Structure 1
Amino acid sequence: MHLELKTDVTKSMADVWQGFNRDLFDRLSPPFPPVDVVRFDGCLKGDVVHLRLNFLVFRQDWVSQIVDQQTTEFEIYFVDQGTRLPFFLTYWHHRHRLLRNPSGGTCIIDDITFRTPFRLTDLLLYPVMWLLFAYRKPIYKRLFN
């Protein structure tokens, strides 16, 4: 399944990139499931992010590796690829894109591809994933406007 959400903010691409840090990561975590950050290296190639999701009666680890990061005059992006995923996911590829807006500001894009064990659960999980990432939009606007 493919999911893409875009958020326009007024800060420059460089300023937004500077804000992609552990503090932002903590703010972007949704209220459920609660997330414990076991490890957060950053957003550069080779970095690792290890989360522990708390579903109250059980916990699941989610480990992603930053497999790519590029900076150009018009775009900064990094890609986190799931290497150890919760039971309900079999594949995770999240490209975080910052695009320079020609009229000023930056467009933040969460470009996500995920799979579950079954096509039906892909379809059922899609609205949940959409809500979890739509939750980020007002946070991005509040921090980067």
Structure 2
Amino acid sequence: MHLLLKTSVSQALSAVWAGFDRSLFNRLSPPFPPVEVVRFDGCQTGDIVQLRLNFLLFRQDWISEIVDQKSSPDEIYFIDQGTQLPFFLTAWHHRHRLLRNPAGGTIVVDDITFRTPFLLTDYLMYPLMWLQFAYRKPIYKKIFSGN
């Protein structure tokens, strides 16, 4: 399944990139399931991000490796690839793109491809995944408001 969400923010590309740190990552975590950041190396190739999802009766680890990162004057991106995923996912590829907006500011793009164990659950998970990432839009806008 493929998700693509775009959020326009008012800060410049370099400022938004500088803000992609552990603090932002903590703020982007949705209310459910609660997420503990166990490890956050950063957003550079080879870095590891480990999350612990708390489903109340049990916990699941989610480990991703940053497999690519590139910068140009008009775009900065990094890709996290799931290496250990919670039970409901079999594949995860998330390209975080920061695009210079010609009108000013930056466009934050979450470009995600995921799979679950079954095609039917791909479709059932799609709206849940969309909500988890749509939740980030007002947070991006607030943090990167330029104020």
Residue in 1 that maps onto 2:103: 103
Residue in 1 that maps onto 2:79: 79
Mapped partners of 1:103, 1:123: distance in 2: 35
Is 1:14–2:29 an aligned residue pair?
A: no
Measured after TM superposition, the shift of residue 34 of structure 1 is 0.5
Amino acid at match of 2:78: F
Residue in 2 that maps onto 1:60: 60
Mapped partners of 1:120, 1:98: distance in 2: 32
Residue in 1 that maps onto 2:26: 26
Structure 1 segments unaligned to the other structure (5+ residues): none
Residue in 2 that maps onto 1:45: 45
Is 1:112–2:112 an aligned residue pair?
A: yes
SS at match of 1:17: helix
Q: Which stretches of structure 1, 4 residues or longer, exceed 3 Å deviation after superposition?
A: none
Measured after TM superposition, the shift of residue 104 of structure 1 is 0.8
Mapped partners of 1:36, 1:23: distance in 2: 12
Mapped partners of 1:135, 1:36: distance in 2: 17
RMSD (Å) for aligned C-alpha atoms: 0.4
Amino acid at match of 1:119: L
Mapped partners of 2:135, 2:127: distance in 1: 12
SS at match of 1:77: strand
Which residues of 2 match residues 127-138 of structure 1 at below 5 A? 127-138=127-138
Mapped partners of 2:14, 2:97: distance in 1: 12
Output the TM-score relative to the length of structure 1.
0.99
Measured after TM superposition, the shift of residue 129 of structure 1 is 0.2
SS at match of 2:26: helix
Q: What fraction of aligned residue pairs are identical, expressed as a percent?
A: 72
Mapped partners of 2:84, 2:64: distance in 1: 7
Measured after TM superposition, the shift of residue 136 of structure 1 is 0.2
SS at match of 1:20: coil
Measured after TM superposition, the shift of residue 137 of structure 1 is 0.2
Per-residue CA deviations over 1:14-67 (Å, capped at 9, x if unaligned) read: 000000000000000000001111100000000000011000001000000000
Amino acid at match of 1:113: T
SS at match of 1:14: helix
